[in-house]
Amino acid sequence: MSRHFIIPDTQVRPGVPLDHMDWIGQAIVDYAPDVIVHMGDHWDMPSLSLHDGPGSKASEGARYENDVRIGNDAFSRICLPMEREVDAQRKARKRLWNPRKIFLFGNHCDRITRAINNNPKFEGALSLDHLDTRNFERHSFLERVWADGLLYSHFFQSSHSHHAIGGSIDSRLNKIGTSFIQGHEQGFRYGTRIQASGQSWHGLVAGSCYLHREGYRGAQGQRHWRGIVILNEVEDGEYCIMPLTLKYLCRKYTGKTLIDYMNKKYPKGDWRHLT
């Protein structure tokens, strides 16, 4: 049996708070998983967004280099506690902890690929190689990855169109046909389905691990679940699930409630969506 550590979409862009990257990094060390999976959309890439046209307020000041840099810095904050732990084990001549590390490129990261396809003149100037995922396995957008009987992808696509499979977890399990884990969608959904064989299929959707607001969700759509997910006793597609919210991680690593921490650290911000 193994333990999987899942990091849902982090949606990093200039100007958003990144304190939780340190909490995630320390949690990786504390829970010592066998497999770590980042579900994608770490680099939000607003400079390449097709939703905000040239000259719009949202695109004002957006720069590709800044999008890449802030995402790289945030990813290093996730990885540093793990890298320090391995260095300490090496110096102490202990057996090295060496989890499998998987990064799934999401549709926001893939804005780079789409920009190059739409404007070949950008080839070389823009590149997924600029996104520093340290020593994680890199898997292209919508590539499916197996680990201990679980099928991972940023999201799962309908076989009859380019649209994502949606609906209830039970409906998705019926269409995907195995235990699956995906990001992409804000919030948290989980369910199981017992097969005639006696095996249980598990379906998990977890697509939000950030502190900021997402403007496109409007005033009433901001209080969705935000956190990480740990899967214990993973074997042949079955597991015991342990979701951990950013509220919990903040209390664990700062000793403060999340709303108190944010109000003190960023007093000019509106953090009511985190209550």
Nearest to 147 by CA among 9, 35, 69: 35
Is residue 58 scored above 70 in pLDDT?
no
Least confident piece of the model among 38-47, 49-58, 191-200: 49-58
The residues facing 101 across adjacent strands are 36
Confidence tier at 56 by pLDDT (50, 70, 90): very low
* Complete DSSP assignment for 10-33: --B-TTS--HHHHHHHHHHHHH--
Q: What gap in Å lies between CA 211 and CA 114, rounded to an integer?
A: 27
55 or 201: which leads in pLDDT: 201
Is residue 54 scored above 60 in pLDDT?
no
Q: Tell me the mean pLDDT in the region 193-206.
A: 95
Per-residue confidence (pLDDT) for residue 237, from 0 to 100: 97
Is residue 269 scored above 80 in pLDDT?
yes
Residues above pLDDT 90, as percent of the chain:
87
Q: Tell me the mean pLDDT in the region 249-269.
A: 98
Q: Tell me the mean pLDDT in the region 168-188.
A: 96
102 or 62: which leads in pLDDT: 102
Instruction: Decide if 149 contacts 237 (C-beta within 8 A).
Output: yes
For 136-205, give the secondary structure using H, E and C: CEEECCCCCEEECCEEEECCCECCCCCCECCCCHHHHHHHHCCCEEECCCCCEEEEEEECCCCCEEEEEE
Which pairing describes strands 180-182 and 150-153: parallel, antiparallel, or unpaired?
parallel
| 3 state DSSP class of 227 | strand
Is residue 51 scored above 70 in pLDDT?
no
Q: What is the pTM of this model?
A: 0.94
Is residue 55 scored above 70 in pLDDT?
no
Question: What is the domain partition of the chain in residue ranges?
Answer: 2-274
Query: For the domain bounded by 2-274, which CATH number is listed?
Result: 3.60.21.10
